[in-house]
Structure 1
Amino acid sequence: AGRLRERWRKPVIVIGVDAVNGLGKGSGRSQPGMNLGKAIQAAWEQGVLIAGGGHAMAAGLTVKADRIDELRDFLNARLSGEQAAAEALDGVEIDALIEPASATRALFDQFDALAPFGPANPEPLFAMEHVSVREPVQMNGGHVRCRLVGADGASVKAIAWRCADLPTGKALLSGQGGLSVTGRLKADDWNGRRGVQFEIEDVSDPRMAQPPA
């Protein structure tokens, strides 16, 4: 649920249904400004759920399989009034603007010393501007592997998870230049070699935001 929420920037609930007893167990993650736990509590009070609870950013629930559609409609109606406030809060806070040349293991180690990461101590988020994509490859599972190249020709290995059919993956697979990317540095160790790769979370083309002349 957390990864889907990050991808779609909306509250997400993932429900697994037991085919034997017809019950679904769900876990949800929300966006800032949208109180998912309160909405789940309201659904339980209205009898839509067998059990449920949580807090503003996360919740869990139990629901009969034949009431999942009803639950979706209830939550959509309940949270619709909070959407505008959530969109106003929804933004990406970049910890540092870097070049591919500076995306090194030494930089990763410096920030990794701040771990453990979590809601109160988010993992550092980096941005790169005006980079080109080289050697893009679609992998099994819809992942995209490539190299991000800066204006000076320096590059860093990069990967974007489960995105080949999404705008992020399509932009990477096109191999175009002039892109802005955000993501996180991750260790890339193999056979005693200590390296780093850039785990891409989002890709944008600044040229698309410019009004026509």
Structure 2
Amino acid sequence: AGLAGPVTPYHFGFLIGPRINAGGRISDAALGSRLLTLDDTGEAEAIAERLDELNRDRQVMEANMLQEAEAEAYAEYGDGSGASVIVTAHEKWHPGIVGLIAARLKEKFKRPAFAIAFDPNGKGTGSGRSINGFDMGKMVRAAVDEGLLVKGGGHAMAAGLTVERDKLGRLRGFFSERAEKTVAALVANETLKIDGAIGASGATIDLIDRLETAGPYGSGHSQPIFAIPAHRVRDSRIVGEKHVKVTLEAMDGARLDGIAFRAADTQLGNLLLNSRGANLHVAGSLGDNHYQGSRRVQLRVMDGAIAR
């Protein structure tokens, strides 16, 4: 797909992966597997171009769906602070993208979240994403036992379901009651586990490579989280409409670039944007960023606080 240089975990995670997945989400799931097994360069390039086109289409659909889902969530739950589970639904959503929408809602509201796409016959296909400590799969299976779902299942952090339109209201009530006490306790005691502390000068490509040898990371084996203590915010700005890019500077002058994804309208984003020249404690995971042929260390910013 026009990538130069060696294929790294960064390419798979942020460039190649979404394009391969786009076929299965909104078109032909076989395109990705065919691409990875082809020896014919010409055919491979044609499929890669098709997947790149599908990924652009998926991005547009996702942006529109997310805007509608957030509007519905605000209308139904306000700022979300009083909700235990966020449930959104729409008749015109693409069922292959609802999982992405659920993940975005979970990140925004810090609550378990579902997005459901209804077809013209009133049957909804939904996907959910949970927060650490709440077993979403167990809740969905309980809803099946109650007769509220046509079918459903999953694991602690994610679930899928099929629901009839006329049972959506009862399902919302069931989820809310089932999750209320557990989610309230989890949110009240929300913490970010820090694995270590590091300064800008210690965040090197060599360290990134060493961390990658301990992967792959995922559920049950999360990527290490580092604290970057008392670094000055040399610069911060919005990029790509919703992301916040920041440059941190240590007392010795060493700098570290970071990005807080989809944070422009969040407390974290406001902190970064309004703290230029101030010292912050920042936490996040380390990765690399490929830009114009160079490879640089980048911090994925997950939390921050004023250094006092």
Which range, TM-score by smaller chain?
0.7 to 0.9
Deviations, residues 62-83 of structure 1 (Å, cap 9, x unaligned): 1234433432221110111323
The aligned amino acid for 1:5 is K
**Alignment length, in residue pairs?**
206
Q: Are 2:164 and 1:64 aligned? A: yes
Contact 1:93 1:125 in 2 (8 A): yes
As a proportion of its length, which structure holds more helix? 2
Q: Are 2:295 and 1:194 aligned? A: yes
* SS of 1:82 mapped into structure 2: helix
* SS of 2:230 mapped into structure 1: strand
Q: Are 2:175 and 1:113 aligned? A: no
2:126 is aligned, of 26, 37, 48, to 26
Higher relative contact order (CA 8 A, sep 6+): 1
- Percent of matched pairs sharing the same residue: 39
Instruction: Return the TM-score normalized by structure 2.
Output: 0.61
Which one is further off, 136-145 or 26-35?
26-35
As a proportion of its length, which structure holds more strand? 1
- The runs of 5 or more residues in structure 1 that have no matched partner are 208-213
Please name the residue that 1:174 is paired with: 274
State the distance in 2 between where 1:92 and 1:142 align: 23
Deviations, residues 4-37 of structure 1 (Å, cap 9, x unaligned): 435544222232333x333322222223432221
Counterparts of residues 30-109 of structure 1 (less than 5 Å): 30-83=130-183, 86-87=186-187, 90-109=190-209
State the distance in 2 between where 1:179 and 1:134 align: 11
State the distance in 2 between where 1:29 and 1:96 align: 28
User: Following TM superposition, by how much is the alpha carbon of 1:140 offset from its aligned partner in structure 2, in angstroms?
Assistant: 2.7
- The runs of 5 or more residues in structure 2 that have no matched partner are 1-101
Residues 72, 152 of structure 1: alpha-carbon distance in 2 compared, 3 angstrom cutoff: farther
- What is the root-mean-square deviation of aligned Cα atoms in Å? 2.2
State the distance in 2 between where 1:66 and 1:144 align: 41
Please name the residue that 1:185 is paired with: 286
State the distance in 2 between where 1:174 and 1:87 align: 26
